[in-house]
Chains A and B, each alone.
Chain A
Amino acid sequence: AQSVTQPDIHITVSEGASLELRCNYSYGATPYLFWYVQSPGQGLQLLLKYFSGDTLVQGIKGFEAEFKRSQSSFNLRKPSVHWSDAAEYFCAVAPRDDMRFGAGTRLTVKP
């Protein structure tokens, strides 16, 4: 079945520590891939997207993601987390015309 999986429901990291959020997808072909962030009471903001080409993509707010075809993964990373990064993060794929989201990973940042 086609799916988007974010294995970690909740992650806690200390401010200044590195971060990696995992995303795996299951589709017949490589879909278009996205990472969004949602702060409480807000809509979703696009962090970055991958369509083709360089498998390491840079986004806003210092985030980057790497597409690994062999692992069907599109993990989000940040070298040093700030307290303002606390939010919910969604991986999304667009296999055709619709967009499908993972369940989300809630990030808590410890001072």
Chain B
Amino acid sequence: KAGVTQTPRYLIKTRGQQVTLSCSPISGHRSVSWYQQTPGQGLQFLFEYFSETQRNKGNFPGRFSGRQFSNSRSEMNVSTLELGDSALYLCASSSGTKYNEQFFGPGTRLTVL
């Protein structure tokens, strides 16, 4: 069974640009969660999608958005990038049953210059 895949693995953008990150969950998983990991703030929950609907949302500004497609693949978008958005963005998938084990992808390393 293939694991969670994230593309691209590395990304460099400049301030003010926007970026889209992609996550393909494990086959059969309907829940995708996104996290931001930085040295200063640690791991922070962004949002979770289940069956194409945002089921839960963390405390991030509206510049951070996401969506999920019918095949459970998910995208995360960050608009008007700021230097502080530089981080490792992790995607996790699960079957969607509450508190079921989350399987993490390797992450996308975003650098904002």
Residues of A within 8 A of B (CB): 32, 36, 41-46, 49, 51, 90, 92, 94, 97-104
- Asked whether B104 is an interface residue with its Cβ less than 8 Å from the other chain, the reply is yes
Interface residue SS majority, chain B: strand
Q: Chain A residues near B55: list those with CB within 8 A.
A: 97
- Asked whether B25 is an interface residue with its Cβ less than 8 Å from the other chain, the reply is no
| Known contacts A43-B105, A44-B92; 12 further A-B pairs (Cβ under 8 A) | A43-B4, A43-B92, A44-B90, A44-B102, A44-B104, A46-B102, A98-B56, A99-B33, A99-B45, A101-B35, A101-B43, A101-B44
The answer, among A45, A51, A98, A102, for a CB contact under 8 Å with B42, is: A102
Residue of B at shortest CB range from A96?
A: B56
Q: 10 closest pairs, A vs B, by CB?
A: A43-B104, A101-B43, A44-B104, A97-B56, A32-B99, A103-B42, A98-B45, A43-B106, A43-B105, A46-B101
Interface contact B42-A104, CB-CB below 8 Å: yes
24 of the cross-chain contacts (CB-CB < 8 Å) are: A32-B99, A36-B104, A42-B106, A43-B90, A43-B92, A44-B90, A44-B92, A44-B104, A45-B104, A46-B102, A46-B103, A49-B99, A49-B101, A90-B43, A94-B99, A97-B48, A97-B56, A99-B33, A99-B102, A100-B45, A101-B35, A101-B43, A103-B42, A104-B43
